[in-house]
A and B are shown apart, each in its own frame.
Chain A
Amino acid sequence: MSDAMVLDGARAEGLATVREVPAPGLIALKGDLGAPALADAVRAVTGCAVPGLRRIEAAGAARAGWMAPDELLLVAPREAVPGALSTLEARLAAAHHLAADVSDMRAVFRLEGQGAREVLAKLAPVDLAPGAFEPGELRRTRLAQVPAAFWMEQGGFTLVCFRSVARYAFDLLAGAAAPGGEVGHFA
């Protein structure tokens, strides 16, 4: 089992394909999102601009997602994380901030296929209708009883939750995607 995976790449097929994917490098960055120093640091580490309210910016494999008015989630390859943390520390030395490597604290899933919106809509109190939720938006919410965040990319959803609830989250998604559970609301 890779350290980056909790469930050994568990996979379920149904209305949508649910699969665990290796967690990339994830950095939680807290600070003043309006500060030019923070914008410089985020661009240096990810190549992305500071995302606007509830948005996620992408540059190659890197992402910068808006998590809270004072918090970003930075996504980068795992091997780039130590370098990214030292870059952040150097560029934000004068600013009140916190940068933490949370890669090993998260589980990451991909949700792909026709029914992906519907599967997620069964579990989260979010309007997932086409037009209401589109690529470029990051949503922090709950998945049944656990917190999760997700965004759309490459024709599906990428979903991040706490590593400790990975099995619960996977079982939820697999259950919601089980064949025979079609609602057809977004069809």
Chain B
Amino acid sequence: MLLLTCPHCGIDADETELSPGGEAHLTRHGPGATDEDVEAYLFLRDNPRGVHLERWRHANGCGKWFVAARCTVTLEVFGTYPAQTARPPQHVLDAIEAKRPGATRKLPVMEGAR
């Protein structure tokens, strides 16, 4: 059972109060994009063994979307932040690095940030 802190209302929400929204920080490729980009946006998802950034919605609560950084192996949660964030905030990156050195560099969203 996951307990995620909703960054919008501050509640330590039980997993059953939330709806999962899949991988976070996808780039939405729309009209004019290449077929490969549209395919990747629609269908191709990371399924890492380790640190993952994923979208959750506080469905049975404030109704807002947020992103959780957690480990898919240990279920350890490194932090949550509002979905209106283009990149993970520094305190979340620091929390990941403290436990999993080097892991943030492997996050797809951090490509190009290096």
Query: Quick check: A69 and B17 within 8 Å, CB to CB?
Result: no
Q: How many A-B contacts are there with CB distance less than 8 Å?
A: 33
Query: Quick check: B10 and A54 within 8 Å, CB to CB?
Result: yes
Q: How far is the CB of B75 from chain A (nearest CB, A)?
A: 17
Cβ of A141 under 8 Å from chain B:
yes
Question: CB < 8 Å: which of A54, A69, A140 contacts B60?
Answer: A140
- Describe A's contact surface by its main secondary structure: strand
**Distance A44 CA – B61 CA, assembled complex (angstroms):** 27
**Distance A139 CA – B10 CA, assembled complex (angstroms):** 11
Query: Quick check: B9 and A54 within 8 Å, CB to CB?
Result: yes
Residues of A within 8 A of B17 (CB): 125, 141-142
Residues of B within 8 A of A71 (CB): 62-63
Residue in chain A with minimal CB distance to B7: A69
Q: How far is the CB of B79 from chain A (nearest CB, A)?
A: 19
Cβ of A50 under 8 Å from chain B:
no
**Distance A141 CA – B10 CA, assembled complex (angstroms):** 13
Q: Give the number of chain B interface residues (Cβ < 8 Å).
A: 14
Cβ of B29 under 8 Å from chain A:
no
Query: Quick check: A147 and B62 within 8 Å, CB to CB?
Result: no
Residues of B within 8 A of A100 (CB): none
Cβ of B14 under 8 Å from chain A:
yes
Query: Quick check: B14 and A68 within 8 Å, CB to CB?
Result: no
Residues of B within 8 A of A (CB): 8-11, 13-14, 16-17, 59-64
Would you mind naming 10 contact pairs between A and B with Cβ atoms under 8 Å apart? A53-B10, A54-B9, A67-B62, A68-B9, A69-B62, A69-B64, A125-B14, A125-B17, A141-B17, A142-B60
Residues of A within 8 A of B (CB): 53-54, 67-69, 71, 125, 139-142, 147
Further 15 A-B residue pairs, CB within 8 A, beyond A71-B63, A141-B60:
A67-B62, A68-B62, A68-B63, A69-B8, A69-B62, A69-B64, A71-B62, A125-B14, A125-B16, A139-B11, A140-B60, A140-B61, A142-B16, A142-B17, A142-B60
